[in-house]
Structure formats: structure tokens, C-alpha cells
A = this chain, B = another copy of it.
């Protein structure tokens, strides 16, 4: 592509480094920002600079935070004895949206994936063990994606935690609400039959 401006070209090149943004989209965005929207460009530049320099991981749980310790870890209205273990900050947001969990979180920062060179050392597992040893934790909930890597991670952590005499649970897997049995994959459907629950009829 021939650019009439080096500055425009650099903006396009830098935007294409983003996931899911191709050359055409990057060009569209850069042209949008260069023509009559320079204030918007400056606002985004400022926000991204803040993101790059100011944001950090909570020293307790590993969630993204503006301060040393995140809002959730600081909160006095949350149960201290139950930990929800997740892969990323995105998952914390997803679970918070459900309003079904009032304990605290522990963000691993990924899952064990030898093919990508991610072993247990690369994850925030040591921090988890320390929290279990030092805090008064009674249950950990594994809210990790049911993939091969996710299952491996769950197994690894469970083995480490096994002798510490705490309850370990995994979030329920099965057919989605509103989902169609016909289109559910065999593995999910098979598991959902295996782990069927008693149906309670109100009197």
C-alpha cells in the first residue's frame, strides 16, 4: 500500500500489531483519527500510555489494579475463606458480572501449556500456595476453561493442595442455558449425563 504520509503509515503499522486488527481496519482507524478527530486520537494515546505505565497486578491476587492491592482484595464485605481460581482478569470480570460469587479471587495469569512453553513456574501458583498456607481458606473453586490445558492446570493445582485439608471444587460443566441438545458436542453432553443432578420438586 502506498502512503502519502510516513506518520500515517507508522500509525497503521502500529495498529496492525493489535489482535484481530488487519491492515484495512488499521487504515480505516488511522484515517478516521487523522481527519478531524485529532482530539480523539490524543485521548486514546493518553489512555494507552496510562495503561502501559500505571496499571499493575494486585500483589495479593494478581488481578489488574490501579493500586498495590485491588478493590476486591481490600473489600471487607467479601468472604475471606473462599477463593475462586481463574486464568485472567477477564474471567474475574465475567464472574463478577454474574453476581453469584462473594469470595475472593486468585488470578493465575494463564494455564499450563507445555506447547507454548508455559509451565507451572510461569503462573501465579506459588502465590496461591502461600495464600492457602497463610490465609484461613476453606474452599477453592476452580473456574478454569474445560480445555486440555485447563484440565491439566486443575489437576496440577489439586495435587499440590490435596494435603492441605481444604475443599476443592470445579465449576459445573454441561449444556448451556438456552442451548440446544442437538447441537451440543458429544463430550459435553456425555459429561452432563454422567454428572446429572437430582431434580428437586417443591412441595
| C-alpha gap A96/B5 in the complex (Å) | 13
Mostly helix, strand, loop or mixed at chain A's interface?
helix
Known contacts A27-B90, A31-B88, A52-B39, A6 near B66 by CB under 8 Å:
yes
| C-alpha gap A50/B50 in the complex (Å) | 17
* In the complex, A45 has a CB within 8 A of chain B: yes
* In the complex, A169 has a CB within 8 A of chain B: no
| C-alpha gap A28/B92 in the complex (Å) | 14
Known contacts A25-B20, A55-B34, A5 near B41 by CB under 8 Å:
no
Contact (Cβ within 8 A) A97 B1: yes
Contact (Cβ within 8 A) A11 B48: yes
Chain B residues whose CB sits within 8 angstroms of the CB of A157 once the complex forms = none
* In the complex, A153 has a CB within 8 A of chain B: no
Contact (Cβ within 8 A) B10 A64: no
Contact with B along A1-30 (1 / 0, CB 8 A): 111111110110111011111000101111
Q: 8 Å CB contacts to B: which residues of A15-73?
A: 15, 17-21, 25, 27-35, 38-55, 58, 63-66, 70-72
The residues of A with any CB-CB pair to B shorter than 8 Å are 1-8, 10-11, 13-15, 17-21, 25, 27-35, 38-55, 58, 63-66, 70-72, 88-90, 92-93, 96-97, 109
